[in-house]
Amino acid sequence: MKPATMATTRLAEHWAHGLDITGPLDIAFPDTDRIRHIAWLAHRTLPYAFALAGAGPQDVRCDLTAPDGVTSWEFGPDGAGSAISGPAGDFCRVAAQRMTPEQSGLTASGAHGPAALRLLRTYAA
């Protein structure tokens, strides 16, 4: 694993545990543009997640709305036949298993979009 990827996994882990602490205490923990790193990691680990599920890697495009509500973050090839779109914060929470896909504002389309949303992760099994 490359050092930058390893550092990003630690960032994702600390962010997720921050949610675990602030949520039950009803403390605000607003999303910032820094979660872009976590979103990148979640998309980057999709081939691994598909492999764990016994499937080959699939092209999935992610079109996410940044926390500012205006900026768009895009990961994956433009021509992918499958996509996940919606709020980046929800995408990161689903990947960290702090929210289910059904609780999120994310939509999945194409042949592999729903599976990708279900398999999304920021951690190794």
pLDDT tens per residue across span 36-89: 999 999 999 999 999 999 998 899 999 999 999 999 999 999 999 999 999 999
CA distance 49 to 3: 20
Tell me the torsion sign for CA atoms 109, 114, 118, 122.
Answer: negative
Predicted pLDDT at 4: 83
Average pLDDT score over the chain: 94
**Strand 82-87 relative to strand 72-75, pairing:** unpaired
Distances (CA, A) of 69 to 32, 88, 98: 11, 9, 21
Q: What is the DSSP letter of 76?
A: S
What's the mean pLDDT in 8-34? 94
For the entire predicted model, the pTM comes to 0.94
